[in-house]
Amino acid sequence: MFRSFRLRERLNLEFRSEWFSVTNTPQYGNPDTTLGNANFGKIRGTRGTDASGTTGGNRGGAFGIRIMF
C-alpha cells in the first residue's frame, strides 16, 4: 500500500507499507524420502525464510518514505 502527498508544486512525498506472510500461514517442508527410515514420508518442519521474508517464516513488514522532486 502507498499514499502520496503533494507538498509543493514539484515536491511530492510518498509513504509506503509492505507486508509479508500477513496470515502467518506455515509453509511446510518436503517429506523425508529416505526409504527404510523411521521418519519416511513425515514432514518434520517448515521452510526457512529467504532474504526478502517471503518464503515461509513469521509475519513481517516494512515502511518507507520516498521524496520525489
Reported as a single tens digit per residue, the pLDDT across 52-67 is: 555 555 778 899 999 9
Residue ranges making up the domain that contains 37: 2-68
What would the grid cell of residue 52 be? 526478502
For residue 47, give the C-alpha cell: 521452510
pLDDT of res. 30: 85
Number of domains present in the structure of the chain: 1
Length of the chain measured in residues: 69
Digit-coded pLDDT (tens) for 21-47: 777 777 788 888 888 888 898 888 877
Give pTM, 2 decimals: 0.47
CB 54 within 8 A of CB 20: yes
